[in-house]
Amino acid sequence: MQTVAVIDYGMGNLHSVAKALEHVGAGRVLVSSDAKVIREADRVVFPGVGAIRDCMAEIRRLGFDQLVREVSVDRPFLGICVGMQALLEHSEENGGVDCLGLFPGQVRFFGKDLAEAGEPLKVPHMGWNEVVQSVDHPLWHNIPNRGRFYFVHSYYVEAGNPKQVVGRGHYGKDFVAALADGPRFAVQFHPEKSHTHGLQLLQNFAAWDGRW
């Protein structure tokens, strides 16, 4: 049976992610802060919620910055929400925070004056929204284009390499909903909270060989 490690660095909806992976039959799911366990896993999930400065501080304190670089190059790797943002180069949040730099690009604030057709929009962007699949990726298997997923975020990814953008959303402005590069796949939404489509994505991740 394959193992899926959910990285525990104290910042993430870990058990909801683990339960969703177990629900789709992903294999033996381990929520762990043990680098050895994570290194030995067949697949790795990197969730995250909260402030990016706190997330990055814990990631570096635990030595998980190097660990994430290591385990995301030779097996399927899924970043979720702030776990996705942490993979970028830099975030505007908290006055500016350097991130892991595994994807080129920046994390930007939606802004206080966000609007659509003259109507103000609330920040954070919270709730269901469509995701346009800009690339035919294995993790989109059996998920319709413009399928709806659940988002909670005040900051959004501005990709440095458009070829890595595999999903887009819109909330006052276009934003990156999913990035991919080799065995790395990262999403701004929460698949564990996204019902049928989110569970399908996790099932696809459990079956994916890391190639596309």
Catalytic residue among 81, 93, 99, 197: 81
Q: Would you call 184 exposed, middle or buried from its count of C-beta atoms within 10 A (0-12, 13-18, 19+)?
A: buried
Catalytic residue among 55, 125, 153, 190: 190
Residue 169 · residue 175 · CB < 8 Å: yes
Q: Is the pLDDT of residue 163 over 80?
A: yes
Closest CA to 175 of 109, 128, 101: 109
Mean pLDDT of 101-129: 96
Mean pLDDT of 72-96: 97
Asked about 192 being catalytic, the answer comes back as yes
What pLDDT score was predicted for residue 10?
A: 87
What pLDDT score was predicted for residue 94?
A: 87
Sign, Cα dihedral of 21, 25, 26, 32: positive
Catalytic residue among 93, 99, 192, 197: 192
**pTM of this structure:** 0.97
Q: How far apart are CA 92 and CA 94, in angstroms?
A: 7
What pLDDT score was predicted for residue 210?
A: 97
Asked about 99 being catalytic, the answer comes back as no
What pLDDT score was predicted for residue 69?
A: 97
Q: Give the pLDDT confidence of 8-66 residue by residue, as tens digits.
A: 998 877 999 999 999 999 999 999 999 999 999 999 999 998 899 999 999 999 999 99
What pLDDT score was predicted for residue 13?
A: 75
Give the torsion through C-alpha atoms of 112, 133, 27, 127, to 10 deg: 30
Q: How far apart are CA 77 and CA 71, in angstroms?
A: 8
Q: Is the pLDDT of residue 137 over 90?
A: yes
Q: Kindly report the average pLDDT of the chain as a whole number.
A: 96
Q: How far apart are CA 100 and CA 27, in angstroms?
A: 28
